[in-house]
């Protein structure tokens, strides 16, 4: 009980005393935020965040002379709750000394939680975000993402989606690992040269997070397999380096009504967006609203002929991974209808509005 003023000692109970009192019907409230509560809580406690404690007590006419126990992570917030409650006449309000940390250290029973200990540890910093929590993590674990490309863009996208706990990653790429890939395609290593990129990617991602299901597809993404590969995905992600694959992804996005997270890099420049003409209530543009036709090959060189700064695919790929997670979690404002461009030489980002094209050859 060190650090507590002497006049506050009467406001404290031990974890064991709290457990006994809760078993006899004493109201037991956990004043942490809900995502913290969902990660583990004292058995018998209910979630009531600190900001709501007093208002709830008064609106529900809790008896002023009834016993009430508050608990938080380490005892500070619960003591603040007790002080606020006592100032309003709840004279038998007390706080658990040491909070839930002391409760767990004492080996006292905890409420059942929806994630196992591995998931709670692995995603701990993500789970405490109010916009994620256990419900959001479960959405990620149930999600399926189609990623076309396991190269410069696909590498950071796949790494961060796997690390975040996206349940299934289907990765499509027909290429083999080459030494020239290694300066930017961070999924692959020297010992992977000659392997199918999807095999190398699968090995690296499973080592990173064995909870994620990796579906490597060693094939060209084309008109013949696009709908089959995209059919059960929640989000389609463009990590390709050619216009043919992008047009097939765009067609699948339109047919299936799925969002397409786009990215591209060239030398020192990159761009990203979300194309989603099937967005409920607010249809967005498709890829061909921005790029109606593929340019001739001599006007659209790839990395092998034009070159690219090694870190640039990582920067754009992280934007794409972020947009994908936002779409899966249903939070924030996506890049749908906006093109984000980056000039790495000046480190300047620009945003360009992309309207739907009423004459678009694909989605009009």
Q: What is the pLDDT of residues 231-273, one digit of tens each?
A: 999 999 999 988 999 999 999 999 999 999 999 999 999 999 9
Q: What is the pLDDT of residues 291-314, one digit of tens each?
A: 998 766 655 566 666 789 999 999
Residue 7 — pLDDT band, cuts 50, 70, 90? very low
Q: What is the pLDDT of residues 316-338, one digit of tens each?
A: 999 999 999 999 999 999 999 99
Q: Are 294 and 247 in contact (CB under 8 A)?
A: yes
Alpha-carbon separation of residue 251 from 219, 293, 342 (angstroms): 18, 13, 26
Structure confidence at residue 294 (pLDDT): 76
Alpha-carbon separation of residue 59 from 53, 54, 63 (angstroms): 10, 8, 11
Structure confidence at residue 34 (pLDDT): 82
Structure confidence at residue 296 (pLDDT): 63
What whole-number distance in Å separates Cα of residue 289 and Cα of residue 285? 6
Q: What is the pLDDT of residues 138-194, one digit of tens each?
A: 899 999 999 999 999 999 999 999 999 999 999 999 999 999 999 999 999 999 999
Instruction: Give the residue, 224 or 306, on which the prediction is more confident.
Output: 224
**Residue of 136, 79, 133, 152 whose CA lies nearest to 311:** 152
Residue 130 — pLDDT band, cuts 50, 70, 90? confident
Q: What is the mean pLDDT of the chain?
A: 92
């Amino acid at each position: 009980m060190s650090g507590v003023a002497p006049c506050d000692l009467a406001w404290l109970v031990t974890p064991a005393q709290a457990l006994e009192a809760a078993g006899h019907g004493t109201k037991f409230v956990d004043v942490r935020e809900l995502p913290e509560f969902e990660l583990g809580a004292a058995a018998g406690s209910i979630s009531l965040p600190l900001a709501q404690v007093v208002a709830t007590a008064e609106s529900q006419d809790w008896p002023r002379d009834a016993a009430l126990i508050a608990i938080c992570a380490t005892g500070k917030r619960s003591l603040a709750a007790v002080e606020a409650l006592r100032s309003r006449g709840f004279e038998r309000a007390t706080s658990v000394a040491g909070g839930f940390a002391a409760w767990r250290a004492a080996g006292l029973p905890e409420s059942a939680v929806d994630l196992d200990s591995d998931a709670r540890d692995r995603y701990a910093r993500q789970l405490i975000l109010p916009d994620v929590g256990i419900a959001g993590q479960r959405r990620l674990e149930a999600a399926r993402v189609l990623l076309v490309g396991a190269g410069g863009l696909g590498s950071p996208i796949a790494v961060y989606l796997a690390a975040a706990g996206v349940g299934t990653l289907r990765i499509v790429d027909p290429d083999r690992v080459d030494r020239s890939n290694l300066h930017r395609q961070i999924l692959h290593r020297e010992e992977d040269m000659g392997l199918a990129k999807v095999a190398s990617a699968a090995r690296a991602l499973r080592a990173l997070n064995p909870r994620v299901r990796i579906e490597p597809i060693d094939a060209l993404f084309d008109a013949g397999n696009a709908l089959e590969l995209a059919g059960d995905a929640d989000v389609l992600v463009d990590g390709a380096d050619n216009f043919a694959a992008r047009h097939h992804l765009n067609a699948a996005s339109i047919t299936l009504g799925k969002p397409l997270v786009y990215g591209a890099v060239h030398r020192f420049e990159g761009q990203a967006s979300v194309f989603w003409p099937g967005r409920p209530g607010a249809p967005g543009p498709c890829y061909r609203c921005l790029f109606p036709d593929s340019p001739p090959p001599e006007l659209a060189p790839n990395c092998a002929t034009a070159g690219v700064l090694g870190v640039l695919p990582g920067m754009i790929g992280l934007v794409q991974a972020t947009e994908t997670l936002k779409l899966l979690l249903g939070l924030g404002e996506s890049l749908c209808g906006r093109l984000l461009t980056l000039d790495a030489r000046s480190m300047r980002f620009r945003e360009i509005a992309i309207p739907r094209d009423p004459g678009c050859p694909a989605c009009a």
